Chains A and B, each alone.
Chain A
Amino acid sequence: MISWLILLAPLLSALLILGGLHRSKTLSQGVSIIACLVSFLIALGFFTGSISAPQPFTWINLPEFKAEIGILVDPLSKLMLLVVTGVGLMVHLFSVGYMHEDEGVSRFFGKLSIFMFSMIGIVVSTNLVQMFIFWELVGLSSYLLIGFWFQKPSAADAAKKAFLVNRVGDFGFLLGIIFYWTLAGTVMFGAEAALTIQSRMGAGESLNITMVTATGLLLFCGCMGKSAMIPLHVWLPDAMEGPTPVSALIHAATMVAAGVYMLCRVFVVLSLSEQTLEVILYIGAGTAFVAALIATQQNDIKRILAFSTLSQLGYMVMAVGLTSPGIEFPAASMFHLTTHAFFKAMLFLGAGSVIHAVHHEQDIWKMGGLWKKLPWTFGTFLLGVLALTGFPGLSGFFSKEEILTLAYHKSGPVMVFATITAGLTAFYMMRLLIVTFFGEARSTNALKAHESPKIMIIPLVILAFLTVFAGYPFMGILASLGQTHPHEASHTVMGISIGVMLAGYLIAFVLYRGRGIEPIYARVLANKFYVDEFYDRVLLRIQQGFAIGMDFIDQWVIGFVFVRGTSLVVNLTGEVLRLVQSGSLQGYAFFFAAGVVGLVYWMLKGF
């Protein structure tokens, strides 16, 4: 059963490292990379059809409730597996260079293997319960990796925040799964579930549309947590406290996209209710727009990319909302997910290479003039910026174009917001590029920077290749999504999007060329619309106040009435007990045995 190895190889690697290999850095790295390679090769086997899916394993089997752990191989999972294991492999290689000075290298690779195991588990899920299991496990690995430098209070806080915000989303997700099971009678994915629900809605009218909408929205809650949609987006920027390769793999390319992947999986059920799709559409578009606005005023290289990730995830979710019911899954969304995984992972790894070169400085205003010193990093980063902003001919152009075309045909206001977002994206990415790589070096670290080792550059170059070509038919990505070539975008859409992109470039160029300090300061944007402050100072305080209030009631009302109210009895009994507490064991044993037996006998005799 070679196909199970796709899951077992990383699991085994994690266990080996945890079980003792961690004493050797080299062995831990080696085992972890080999495990990832094995998963990648099996994913290739699935993609080409040379390996087929195994029999599932029964996890729970009760009448009316069956859950299995299986491997589902279909177009959606084939593509996603390649993305996860491929980008994963690049990140593993990059980490060898990036983490080599860290004492916890072995621990790092062990946790990376746990992540690969859990993420692959999500992708191959055959049912919602299995997905939820691995969904929580990626949450755990994300928690462990964000808090990798756990001595640092900010990292420890960020890890906790990520877990808790995701828990709020998972509260909805779990209820959504229960609703789904109640409606469809199964937790399995697929068209049958949707057909069951549809038939129950139609003929007997035992099922009303509100319930179906609620199911869709609750499932979407899971996506809002994992893919960091507004208002649950606050954990993702903080998650940048983790090591940069983690940000690339987990918090840019794969795990955060799991929410979108899940929506694609259950799209047949989501699309039974138009209201559900509408809510998804607006939350996606809103997130895309707001996150892009915030990104324009951030100064930390990783945070800019994090907000950009939020914004692009917003695009993908928006694309789900724009897809017409009746289609098997939102291909535009998956296509953008794929191209984004490549170029965003590359951008993050590029940022990692920059951070590595300037001795862990992350403020872009303390960089500058790096393009000559880091030629490979700069070249690949430039390609990433162009792809992300939708420069014609690169992968991001094709995938973004598909989403904009959908919006153009479906909804005017959404099209307007999506276009403005595209312009903002061009603006903040060009700002990032100019401030980081051009102008004067603005710190000694930036002056002394030198290019990263080959083990870090090679993954960048491979990802750069994918960034350029992923949109072309010969790569097979479009074919696997059921399309032979990119959609014919209407000339209007193409014109508008290229126009706003150029405008964004131009404004950034004019504003930031040769600057050493931020020329404009928008307090609200720099402070991320004060959402974190609102949560910390209002919601969390209300919650804690409520908890303290409850505690007070418990101690003084319930405790008083039930306990201190009978203090007289307590004292009297205490006196009696003191007499009995002779310290002799046989005495105690006799008293309690005799007492109990006598009591029972007495009670029974009374009847």
Chain B
Amino acid sequence: MNPLLILLLVPLAAIAVILWLPQICPKRTTVTAFIVNFAISLGLFFQFEGGSGFQWVLKYPWFNLPNVAQVNFHLGVDGISLMMVFLTTLVSLASVWVTSAVVKRAREFFIYILLISLGALGAFLSRDLFFIYIFHEFALIPTFLMIGIWGGQNRQFASIQMTLYLALGSLILLAGIVGLVLTQPLDSRSFDLEAIQQIHVIDEGIQRIIYPLLLIGFGILISLFPFHSWAPTGYASAPAATAMMHAGVLKKFGLYALLRLLLPALDSGADYWQTTLLVLIVGNVIYLGYVTMAQKEFPLMLGYSSVMHMGYLFLALASQSLIALTGFVLLMVAHGISAALLFALSGELQSKTGETRIASFGGVYTQAPFLGIMLLVGSMASIGLPGLANFSGEVLIFFGAFKSHPWVTIVCVWGVVISAVYQLRAVRLICFGSVSEVTAKLVDLSSYSARFPYLLLVAASLWIGIYPQSVIHLVQPCLEVILNGGGR
């Protein structure tokens, strides 16, 4: 059986088990499903033959939209989607592993997580735009519900605000996608990704309209400045697993789709809107960087920080250089890992102490050395310490973007200093110093089982940080195709 199909069926099977076999612990079912999926994605990684083509392709015609195009259930992976699948299965596994098995309304909780993971996998595996969109919505909706049901403070506001924003984003996006499909001549219209990538040159005037629709539509989802307001509050009130899945994986979906759609098809639209995008990038990195610095609550700080780092990824998109886009793929995966690690830790601190203010902690290193060390490692990854994955991505983006946008790149490199300021202040106040009253409530994770998800994320980050070439040789051929306009 096609391994990609198995990847999608495993979470479905787990959902069925949870629904119809209530006596089985839902957490155990979910963890098992995600272990299987993670193992499959590792298998795919080692079996992947390289090159720019798609592997394990599966195609069933589904239905025909009158006057539009044939919709196909069409799966396949190339180097880029392979890495995204790896990220999804990794973060899914870690996110359920760190979740307590006795969360209220447990069956629902784990079904939602399975749905999110399923939707994300479907979106990364699909080669049909229709399915990409549907799968993405499929992943998004459970996140709103999870925040609304299991969220922390302000959960009603946070979840409604997020719903409205992302629904709006999805609508704008839909308009853009529809436009993209309809620009094709009637007889050859298709939802097929490659077909869209290879469309005859789209009229410049139309590109100028479609480009901002896609940029803003996905931009809202990725939290591009100034459409980011939903993200920090949303993440701060979300349960740890949801924040990990959203910041780690779902956000990356928007970036992934922009890479697949914007660059190959809309080059003159990109030229036209370039200055605007560059201004927004500076907003993301510098303006939001300073906003992050002012945060007093740890989850909010992490939320803003995760928004801030999106600026680097947009910088790579704006530069359209192979070096920067390679960094883009590395940083997508790297940021997914580090964000998941930090949100997991923040969730752990919050659930044990009931406290979120950075200044109320102190001495975590003494009280709970494992958590302290993980927090240090996660922070170091997030501020781009070499040896951990984020560095290799960021540095390639800076090198690649410098030639086309020197001044914006210089400004963005200052972000490296900004993120060190807030992240190290958090480490200083949370980990170092003497044990505070709040910290005293903390219990260190001592069993191998409890430590496993954290160590797994760190190991993945180290792998990409130390040996990025192992990823680069997979994604480079695919990026070359994309940069050549889909081989047009």
Contact = CB atoms under 8 A, between A and B. Distances in A.
B468 A569 contact: no
B386 interface: yes
B291 A547 contact: yes
Nearest to A144: B376
A178 B402 contact: yes
B322 A150 contact: no
Interface string A315-326: 000000000000
Contacts of A605: 66
B403 interface: yes
Given A62-B326, A140-B380, A167-B417, A160 B425 contact: yes
B398 interface: yes
Contact of A603 (B148, B175, B396): B175
B387 A64 contact: no
A566 interface: yes
Nearest to A155: B432
Interface stretch (B5-13, B80-88, B129-137, B311-319): B129-137
A434 B60 CA distance: 90
B469 A58 contact: yes
A211 B363 CA distance: 47
B229 A562 contact: yes
A573 B396 contact: no
Interface string B266-298: 000000000000000000000110110111000
A239 to B, nearest CB: 15
A140 B377 CA distance: 11
A58 B469 CA distance: 8
Nearest to B179: A607
B287 A562 contact: no
Contact of A64 (B287, B323, B434): B323
Given A61-B469, A585-B111, A588-B145, A603 B174 contact: yes
A59 B178 contact: no
Given A58-B469, A60-B396, A129-B395, A157 B65 contact: no
A195 interface: no
Contact of A570 (B161, B398, B473): B161
A65 B401 CA distance: 13
A171 interface: yes
| Max chain A Cβ within 10 angstroms of own Cβ: one of B65, B111, B294, B416 | B294
B290 A175 contact: no
Interface stretch (A327-335, A454-462, A499-507, A590-598): A590-598
Contact of B398 (A61, A64, A167, A174): A174
Nearest to B66: A605
Contact of B229 (A153, A559, A596): A559
A171 B417 contact: yes
A600 B226 contact: no
A170 B385 CA distance: 12
A527 interface: no
A63 B473 CA distance: 12
Contact of B294 (A547, A577, A597): A547
A551 B294 contact: yes
Contacts of B355: none
B428 interface: yes
B229 A563 contact: yes
B67 A607 contact: yes
Contacts of A593: 138
B444 interface: no
A304 to B, nearest CB: 27
Given A62-B323, A604-B68, A554 B108 contact: no
The DSSP consensus for interface residues of chain A is helix
Contact of B420 (A164, A181, A573): A164
Interface in A161-192: 163-164, 167-168, 170-171, 174-175, 178, 181-182
A147 B421 contact: no
Contacts of B111: 585
Interface residues of A, number: 66
A62 B294 contact: no
A551 B161 CA distance: 19
Interface stretch (A88-96, A131-139, A229-237, A289-297): A131-139
B414 A147 contact: no
A151 interface: yes
A435 to B, nearest CB: 33
A438 to B, nearest CB: 39
Given A167-B417, A604-B178, A550 B294 contact: yes
Contacts of B391: 133, 136
A330 to B, nearest CB: 27
Nearest to B386: A133
A558 interface: yes
A136 B386 contact: yes
B398 A585 contact: no
A479 interface: no
The DSSP consensus for interface residues of chain B is helix
B476 interface: yes
Given A140-B380, A181-B399, A569-B164, A151 B322 contact: no
B182 A160 contact: no
Interface in A100-126: none
B291 A554 contact: yes
A62 B295 contact: no
A563 B161 contact: yes
Given A62-B326, A151-B366, A604-B178, A174 B416 contact: yes
B216 to A, nearest CB: 12
Nearest to B394: A174
B414 A171 contact: yes
Contacts of A547: 290-291, 293-294
Nearest to A563: B229
A548 interface: yes
A125 to B, nearest CB: 12
A60 B468 contact: yes
A544 B365 CA distance: 26
B403 A182 contact: yes
A573 B386 contact: no
Contacts of A140: 380, 385
A597 B134 contact: yes
B226 A544 contact: no
B175 A151 contact: no
A164 B420 CA distance: 7
Contacts of B65: 601, 604
Nearest to B428: A160
A566 B294 CA distance: 26
A543 interface: yes
A601 B67 CA distance: 12
B351 to A, nearest CB: 24
Contacts of B43: none
B399 A65 contact: yes
Nearest to A133: B386
Interface string B180-210: 0010000000000000000000000000000
B419 to A, nearest CB: 9
Given A558-B226, A600-B134, A178 B399 contact: yes
A577 B160 contact: yes
B433 A150 contact: yes
B160 A573 contact: yes
A599 interface: yes
Nearest to B156: A574
A60 B134 contact: no
Top 10 nearest A-B pairs (CB, nearest first) are A156-B432, A551-B294, A547-B293, A133-B386, A547-B294, A150-B432, A550-B290, A592-B141, A547-B290, A596-B137
Given A136-B391, A174-B413, A577-B160, 7 more contacts: A171-B414, A181-B399, A550-B287, A570-B160, A570-B161, A604-B65, A607-B67
15 contacts: A60-B469, A60-B472, A61-B473, A140-B380, A156-B433, A164-B420, A164-B421, A164-B424, A171-B417, A585-B111, A596-B134, A599-B174, A604-B65, A607-B178, A607-B182
